[in-house]
Chain A
Amino acid sequence: QSVLTQPPSVSGAPGQRVTISCTGSSSNIGAGYDVHWYQQLPGTAPKILIYGNINRPSGVPDRFSGSKSGTSASLAITGLQAEDEADYFCQSFDSSLSVIFGGGTKLTVL
């Protein structure tokens, strides 16, 4: 059971918009710690997708965006493409548990 809660799976058709939620608590996201998002393509290591809640590293398309409010955060993907099919993880920090991750969300492009 992960400290950060993500839906196990989401899906969408090409071109659509999907969102992935990441729910925490007052000791992590709600305490003001940033949320970061990673994309893990099949058979590869996770790759940073969004850092500091809303920032995209160089090379990440602007179809990917992040937001944070209260004890939750969200990753939005617009203009869904087949290559976006992957697992997505959120990460934050907990005052008692140190670095924490969500359980991951599998995105299926229909």
Chain B
Amino acid sequence: QVQLQESGPGLVKPSETLSLTCNISGHSVNTGYYWGWIRQTPGKGLEFFGSVYHTGSSVYKPSLKSRTTISLDTSKTQVSLRLTSVTAADTAIYYCVGGNPPDAFHLWGRGTLVTVSS
């Protein structure tokens, strides 16, 4: 059974960097899917950050790209997210996802809530 498990601090201070990790189990990270992140806020709904493939190919949301780094560690079967210079607007549930953009995201983690507050 495929499982995606997000982890990371639940509270980040404004202007700091948000860092999350997703452990991927039950599916090879070297085939089939791009791995990435989507967040959900009450006000803005679902928002795609980006996804990376094991070959290094990637897809990012242009407006977030300057603040976003997504990395895939195939040896650890982990995908990570770094979001710099966070503000309260970055408070959201962050989901780890597997899919092939522009196709659907077939795999989702349970999500982790990150609050940006001093």
Q: How far is the CA of A33 from the CA of B101 in the complex (A)?
A: 10
For residue A110, CB closer than 8 A to chain B, the reply is no
Which chain B positions have C-beta within 8 A of A98? 48, 59-62, 101
Interface assignment of B110: CB less than 8 Å from any CB of chain A: yes
Stretch touching chain B among A10-18, A19-27, A74-82, A99-107:
A99-107
* A65: interface (CB < 8 Å): no
Complex CA distance for A4 and B53, rounded to whole angstroms: 26
Q: B106 contacts A51, CB within 8 Å?
A: yes
- Per-residue interface assignment for chain A, residues 45 to 56, with 1 indicating a CB less than 8 Å from any chain B CB and 0 otherwise: 111100110000
CB-contacts of B65-118 with A (<8 A): 95, 101-106, 108-111
Q: How large is the interface on A (under 10, 10 to 19, 20 to 34, 35 or more residues)?
A: 20 to 34
B108 touches A45 (CB 8 A): yes
Q: Are B103 and A97 touching (Cβ within 8 A)?
A: no
Known A-B contacts A99-B101, A102-B45; the reply to A45 vs B61 at CB < 8 A is no
26 residue pairs bridging A and B, Cβ less than 8 Å apart: A2-B45, A34-B102, A36-B104, A45-B108, A45-B110, A46-B108, A47-B108, A48-B104, A48-B105, A51-B104, A52-B103, A89-B45, A91-B105, A93-B101, A96-B62, A97-B61, A97-B62, A98-B60, A98-B61, A99-B48, A99-B101, A99-B102, A100-B48, A101-B46, A102-B45, A103-B45
Q: Which residues of B contact A (CB under 8 A)?
A: 44-48, 59-63, 95, 101-106, 108-111
